[in-house]
Amino acid sequence: MLTLLTVIYYLLYIYILVFVMRAFLSWPMAMAGGRVPKFVVIAYNICSALTEPLVRPIRRFTSRVNTGNFDFSILGAMIVLIILQRIVQMLFRMIAY
């Protein structure tokens, strides 16, 4: 059971890093227009494909709130993942001790 919780914890950690990569890669995509290196576009598309299943439902909720041009759904998804990671960490501590 501890091994499973450890694997889940690190998978959530990696998924959070993918969200961070998506956020950072979105800036050159928005600022440079069509003059973005191809590897940045490919990396952004991979990150988007991996994160969109979690972002989409949150985006539906945040679209009701007027946030201007800012998309807070990625931040909301990261917060959800961090909370899940903390729950897994608490379960790990409860079982281990």
Direct distance between the N- and C-terminal alpha carbons of the chain, in angstroms, rounded to an integer = 13
- Each residue's pLDDT tens digit, 40-65: 889 999 999 999 999 999 888 877 77
In the chain, which stretches have pLDDT less than 70?
66-67
- 57-74: buried (b, 16+ CB within 10 Å) or exposed (e) per residue? ebbeebeeeeeeeebebb
